[in-house]
A and B are shown apart, each in its own frame.
Chain A
């Protein structure tokens, strides 16, 4: 298999008339990396993918694949293969013809194609299914055929446009593992588009989080989750409780935020905001539900707050406790189920505590809409 090559976006702008779909994107994707673009629908992530695959020319900036400028090179001449959201399997061709279409257009003989198809069918664990039509396959099987078809073209870069979105939950989770395995086996660069943060975090080496045409943050799944660069990233990637307030004091990389309803709370300033925040700035503080715990000591402190419990949910491995927050919002706390029946605290006040370095302060900004 070919070794993956770098994909670089340099200051890429993509405009449709007056509408700016992608604004000043600068991304460096290393060869052999599993890279995801994560964002809500309409954020421009598919547009970026189409500019890499060659269906779109950027209005400004450069797309380089393997260091080579791709301007003016059509999709059929680029070393990329795209797996479409709806898979786009050719309905009138048999499975093996689908898989080896890239060889057919280059004029490979039928025997050659047949042989290669059988290899790939073995690889995707669908031996002897080559003579079926795509319509006779199940969703997961189609998925694998689409992957095999793309791999058959021996691309340097594989582009995947939300390929799992049509599958049901179980299959989706299974395919995540499988995709990751395939990527490691073939060793080429994967660029993956998704709005599902679970997919992005489980599979990717690096994730770019996008909002309305802007890339907010690029980093490993870990850093995106634990050290978000913007309130949008903090609220879009995973669940988060938001506390609005003003910076009361700063001490090194820790800040004290005074909030209306829950008093003064201590938290770590996010890496991207360190040295940029001043006392009196309006800020947002984020605490993950799983970072909260029931306080043993209920005396006021900068890592504790008290609120009334609205309702509780039992979800199996965890209990979710919803407390009354500011502006009608709820504060969510997740407690691990340790096997004991929990005493319900509904309608009572409850004091929560958290580790201050697990909470993040950012300058106030736009949140992801629910």
Chain B
């Protein structure tokens, strides 16, 4: 871009700030709410730095089962979609030319068909099949996992196919011919030549498929049956009452995403570096030279900073207890409250005094006010005054708050390695 003068540069800068503010702002806000103590996720007013929402999250059975279901569905979808997508892409290069356009339209259509339609059609179709076969409603054809994998794979396979087509376009069919010519059978040529060439694409298609499956809602919401995935659970929580444990989950996912993206970036950079040096990738990645990787590589530096930050956060969370702060806030609020009550009392008294002159029988007002404002045993005192929060905070289910159940460290096992594994499928 040739932007010599100052004004266009400023405009571009402002535009970029607005755009990325729109893009990243919500995520940042949401992340911050994970550390604020009010029981409804909010950034303002800031009350206390707390880690209790991670604890709440780690003990949420429904979320944990949801993650488990999501993983099962994800793995199934990845396998099915990658196989079908790869087959579909390979078929495209071989199909009868007159049929090619029709074929392409059919296999690309699932991307454009609304997700709800895919979910409904999958549900209806297998229901009909099951009735036709005279199977009971508890059979495999009504199994939520089975239906969800099929429904998601219908369109995720199309995404995978696009990845494969892009890679296949760079494949020299002469290589397969050369292999055949040297005596390989078609299957050997496929396994030893085409498949290794497609390997990076298979990797990215698998990651893509897993992510798409993991976050799918529209299709899954019709097919999940008795096996709600994480996304379904989240949607239900978000719709019927929330606390910041959702924010905590979002924060974890965001951090994992950033780490995944950075690792990917470093890997790509290393490959480019290797390519530029004319050396094989193995030579560069084999000799682990720390300075070289960091040289002019912001991604690596950010990753290290992130790791340090994460470690210190964990350490901090072990030693820091928000209890004191909460007490303070509660105390503060109580003081404010009392002050207000005093004010009101004073006012009322004044009014009373004035009123007493007219009607002597209205002192009960003051007493009926006081118990309401002083009743809360929980920290979220201030919210009661917030008219908007009353209805939202109310339906919060009690099952989400067994925070007092003992056994684990203050932080729960959100950061325990095995849970990290569960929540970071994109890293493996």
Contact = CB atoms under 8 A, between A and B. Distances in A.
- Within the complex, are A and B direct neighbours (CB within 8 Å)? yes
B177 A153 contact: no
A105 B183 contact: yes
Contact of A106 (B183, B186, B192, B278): B183
Interface in A28-53: 53
Given A82-B178, A86-B172, A86-B174, A92 B197 contact: yes
Given A75-B177, A76-B180, A90 B193 contact: yes
Interface in A279-314: none
B419 interface: no
A133 B178 CA distance: 17
Contacts of B174: 84-86, 88
A101 B184 CA distance: 8
Contacts of A268: none
B180 A74 contact: yes
Contacts of B112: none
Interface residues of B, number: 20
A105 B184 CA distance: 5
Contact of A105 (B185, B196, B197, B278): B185
A102 B182 CA distance: 5
A88 B184 contact: no
Interface string B162-183: 0000000000101101111111
Contact of A90 (B178, B188, B278): B178
B309 interface: no
A115 to B, nearest CB: 18
B280 interface: yes
A84 B183 contact: no
Contacts of B178: 82, 84, 88, 90
Contacts of A347: none
Interface residues of A, number: 28
Q: Which of A80, A92, A105, A132 has the most CB of B within 10 A?
A: A105
Contact of A84 (B177, B184, B193, B280): B177
Interface in A121-150: 132-133, 136, 149-150
Interface string A142-182: 00000001100100000000000000000000000000000
Q: Which of A88, A92, A106, A136 has the most CB of B within 10 A?
A: A88
A88 B179 CA distance: 9
A117 interface: no
15 contacts: A75-B180, A75-B181, A76-B182, A76-B184, A76-B185, A76-B186, A77-B183, A81-B182, A82-B177, A84-B178, A86-B172, A90-B178, A102-B183, A104-B192, A153-B183
Interface of B: 172, 174-175, 177-186, 188, 192-193, 196-197, 278, 280
